[in-house]
Copies of this chain bind each other. A is one copy, B any other.
Amino acid sequence: MTTIDFWYEFGSSYSYPAALRIERQTKSEGVAVRWRPFLLGPIFSSYGWNDSPFNIYPAKGRYMWRDLERICARESLPLKLPPLRFPQNGLKAARIALALDNSGRVGDFTCHVYTANFAEQKDISDDGTLAGILRTLDLDPAAVLAAANTPENKAKLKAQTDEAVARGIFGAPSFTIGDELFWGGDRLGDAIAWAKR
């Protein structure tokens, strides 16, 4: 089965509807998903940004929130604005998602974290929030958090972010099929069509 790599950052607003939609949309097309959390912070820093461009450039930010409202309304996704803060720090969630790799649960975990961030005004950098999500998924919070915090797993997230940069990724969500890159949730259909070529 052809696979799409789904590159996402837990603080990214547009990654929320993409994450909630991707399994359904790819499955119906016979395409598999590889969940690839990474960090946008180091990439933005390399551009000289110390914040999300949606905060640095207010017109872009105002547009994004309105656009996200429209997208979530169309896809019947809950959205509670403003979020607790924007962007939230997705470091811990990304480490957990990587630790869950190969468990078959990374997609479920990811969707719960996005819902906590953008529909529930919860702090996704808080251990309590993350442990609650893991419990909801019948996973052992202590064991998963321990695995997330090993030096090997931390290095894995750094390597994954480095790979994102090497692949030319500059924002989230992004999709890759081999060396082909698509940026933006509204390009998932194009990415699927490319994967099926």
Interface residues of A (CB under 8 A from B): 47, 57, 59-60, 62-63, 66-67, 70, 165, 168-170, 181-184, 186-187, 190
Contact = CB atoms under 8 A, between A and B. Distances in A.
With a 10 A CB-CB cut-off, give which of A59, A66, A181, A186 has the most chain B CB atoms.
A59
Instruction: Tell me if A's interface is mostly helix, strand, loop or mixed.
Output: helix
Given A66-B181, A181-B66, A59 B168 contact: yes
A154 to B, nearest CB: 25
A63 B168 contact: yes
Contact of A170 (B60, B184, B187): B60
B170 A59 contact: yes
Contacts of A47: 57
A63 B181 contact: yes
Contact of A187 (B66, B168, B186): B186
Given A47-B57, A63-B168, A63-B181, 5 more contacts: A57-B170, A59-B168, A62-B168, A67-B183, A186-B186
